[in-house]
Structure 1
């Protein structure tokens, strides 16, 4: 394959940036934390996101000949058992994530076409049906191979970055030229209060920067991967961190937390663009429509990446016999089409079951959603442990950002502690808000026991598959 057909540096940067950065994360956390979101993003970026991205860059450079991404990285230092556990929990969390996100595209499309969200209470019933159509359509696009939609991701990522930069520049210039800040910055509201409530909120900031790993499954598609991939991860990480930190400052200048809180959280990102445009005497509706159009294109690209990448991570590198051959069959370009369509079918079931009106089944799937809520943090904990083992074993890697093991260990252990704290803290909102002790116990079981139950379920599947393979081999030998 010629280099012209492979993914270049900036395309890879955008493949990382697009599914990771979300302007809605800025506005939603500005609502919850107010100005305290600014130092919070800084802490998360410096102590968690950047070190995690460096770990991914280093360990992926040592596995550039493999396409499994997360699975290959963990397996290289911890072995197949932990690789399966990490990737399975990642895959499960992604299924329930996809169930929710398909409804966002019709909303953003409504803002782009009409300058408002027309999927209100009266029309909200249409969202599940539109989500099913989008699930099928975007899965079909994903089956065509990553290079076919890489340009869309590249286009959407650059325009999203441009839209964010424009928002930041106009917000700051407006403030410097006389527009008063909509938020009053004081030491009391800017310095985070490190209490239990803040700890619960802070833990979700860790999940907001999830996504640096998604491009890892495409490393074999990259031109000169040992240099290009680490560089792309670092550049994308810097862009994302700066966008979250400076973007939070800009949002606080344009809109107060009260204004944002009065709007639907899904619509808050559009509202701030409208306010900023009107501050400059520009038609707010047109600006919002333009931003919504860019956001829609970016969302489509991001969701295609989220559809395809976990499938590669889950099925591309697992040992033969772990799953049925039907799921691990690849096309010529390495795309796992059968697995993609099975994933699509599961997501459609998750979307449609609540519409049947069968309370018991609906409650069952709501339970599954609660159980999977923290599955996303498990693979990051395992990945960090894998990196610590990777450095202790002094495994060869073409790229090493941390020149000494001692510096690598310091940042790795800080990231690991924050990840574990995030796993614990993310459930505090549920537990603290419970009305009784019995309800609190149920919530603890669902929130914290869920990932363990789902991991055990996946491990039983893998164990059963290997047992069947061993039995067949024994029968053939007889």
Structure 2
């Protein structure tokens, strides 16, 4: 039996590759004025990420036999109707994520072909968005035909991106020794340069960091597969937090050696361009330091192309199956939505995904410039995706209020009042960051950030009403 148990070190690595990616380093650096983001990362890890990960551990331990993740936790603690809403939120958050994947894949492909940002960024937005929409329709069709080989491709692309992220840090720190004449930026670690400017823009961007560190509830099924869960799981989560902190810090310093934040913030166009292309420029510069041309850039961009498109197809199909396969929440959906083809795909559900994600893509046809589209999608995802984390904290608060009704091997903290305090704190911080993240100086971006979650929430309320009327 012990042979099947995984060590806390293995758990930490599994969680790390799930939670962290190079895009998080780039987004933090660009949106938070270079190395000033270090202060914000420390705050986010200490007061949000660590308690969040340890709460997930306790929930996973309490509901070790519940396979549905957050929806199962809500069903066990608060009933089936709220479990439906939790499942709907988890699925609805993927709509903005799906809308961003064809754009991200096209951007990566343009770097593979052109090795530069300029040509793609200067193409008419309407043309790019129509191509993006066509890609979404093609991938929706592919997703409806079953996709087992793609899961392996997505895993492979995810692993390679993870390796590239670590490789970037190691190679960048070694670069000055190997190529002393490289064009490096001198870093100023004085306190005034590390403390952020707490303006409105700072607070409205915090949702990007919340989005970056979320998602560790995906590893909750492994809680009871860890050796000695009550000690092993928290060890694994603390190791995960340390690894993420170290990668965020070292990745930020490595980027600080390459890019001057003054150039990023020079103009709106410069900012948009860095937000869309920063990670590609990082690997392009790294290749120049090592005299290997664009080799590292092309490898990174190819990994990104495969990853973006494979994850797109999986995101169309997998969350939909999770939502509609659940026997206890199926009664909340109209029968038309539950129609399956011979591959077991929910065809009308996939049509709904195409309509909703396609609407976001087509609405962005009027945004000036392809780089601005990607920046807008990053912000939209940072507003919508963390909404699913709210249900993790709702489930945790409900679990602690239930006392010893649900036995578990592992407790985040023994004191119930302290545990509830952490649950409420994380819920409020997530909600406030999402709400503040909606703000933008651009009226269209702000409208998109507000309308999208509202429309998706209203749809979730309408579904049970349609199902009820159908039965009547």
**Structure 1-normalised TM-score?**
0.76
Q: What CA distance in whole angstroms lies between the structure 2 residues aligned with 1:145 and 1:183?
A: 50
Q: Quote the residue 2:351 is aligned against.
A: 342
Whether the 8 Å contact between 2:70 and 2:391 is mirrored in structure 1 is no
Superposed, which structure 2 residues align to 1:52-451 within 5 Å?
Answer: 52-117=52-117, 118-122=119-123, 124-139=125-140, 142-143=143-144, 148-175=149-176, 180-213=184-217, 226-227=224-225, 234=237, 239-260=243-264, 262=270, 263-280=273-290, 282-317=291-326, 318-328=328-338, 336-338=345-347, 341-347=350-356, 349-350=358-359, 353-354=362-363, 374-393=383-402, 394-396=404-406, 400=410, 402-406=412-416, 408-427=419-438, 429-430=439-440, 433=441, 451=453
| Residue deviations 1:252-311 (CA, integer Å, cap 9, x gap) | 12222234454442111111122223233x233222111111222232343344334432
Q: What CA distance in whole angstroms lies between the structure 1 residues aligned with 2:96 and 2:64?
A: 29
Q: Quote the residue 1:361 is aligned against.
A: none
Q: What CA distance in whole angstroms lies between the structure 1 residues aligned with 2:362 and 2:413?
A: 52
Whether the 8 Å contact between 1:66 and 1:72 is mirrored in structure 2 is yes
Q: What CA distance in whole angstroms lies between the structure 2 residues aligned with 1:339 and 1:49?
A: 37
Q: What CA distance in whole angstroms lies between the structure 1 residues aligned with 2:39 and 2:295?
A: 33
Whether the 8 Å contact between 2:105 and 2:308 is mirrored in structure 1 is yes
Distance 1:292 1:449, change over 3 A: closer
The CA RMSD over aligned residues, in Å, is 4.2
Per the alignment, in what secondary structure is the counterpart of residue 216 of structure 2? coil
Q: What CA distance in whole angstroms lies between the structure 2 residues aligned with 1:213 and 1:184?
A: 37
Distance 1:274 1:375, change over 3 A: closer
What stretches of structure 2 of length at least 5 have no aligned partner?
367-377
- The Cα shift of 1:37 comes to 0.9
The reply on whether 1:21 has 2:20 as its aligned counterpart is yes
From 459, 462, 470, the counterpart of 1:460: 462
Q: What CA distance in whole angstroms lies between the structure 2 residues aligned with 1:373 and 1:155?
A: 25
Q: What CA distance in whole angstroms lies between the structure 2 residues aligned with 1:72 and 1:390?
A: 12
| Residue deviations 1:447-478 (CA, integer Å, cap 9, x gap) | 56874564344223213313543x3xxxxxxx
**Structure 2-normalised TM-score?**
0.76
| Residue deviations 1:195-228 (CA, integer Å, cap 9, x gap) | 4332222233112334334567xx5xxxx77326
Distance 1:184 1:337, change over 3 A: same
Whether the 8 Å contact between 1:68 and 1:312 is mirrored in structure 2 is no
Q: What CA distance in whole angstroms lies between the structure 2 residues aligned with 1:397 and 1:238?
A: 29
Q: What CA distance in whole angstroms lies between the structure 2 residues aligned with 1:198 and 1:191?
A: 12
Whether the 8 Å contact between 1:69 and 1:313 is mirrored in structure 2 is no
Number of residue equivalences: 438
| Residue deviations 1:385-415 (CA, integer Å, cap 9, x gap) | 2211112313436552515144533532332
Whether the 8 Å contact between 1:71 and 1:313 is mirrored in structure 2 is no
Per the alignment, in what secondary structure is the counterpart of residue 165 of structure 1? helix
Per the alignment, in what secondary structure is the counterpart of residue 396 of structure 1? coil
Distance 1:30 1:67, change over 3 A: same
- The Cα shift of 1:168 comes to 0.6
Whether the 8 Å contact between 2:129 and 2:365 is mirrored in structure 1 is no
Distance 1:153 1:445, change over 3 A: closer
Whether the 8 Å contact between 1:58 and 1:397 is mirrored in structure 2 is no
Distance 1:341 1:114, change over 3 A: same
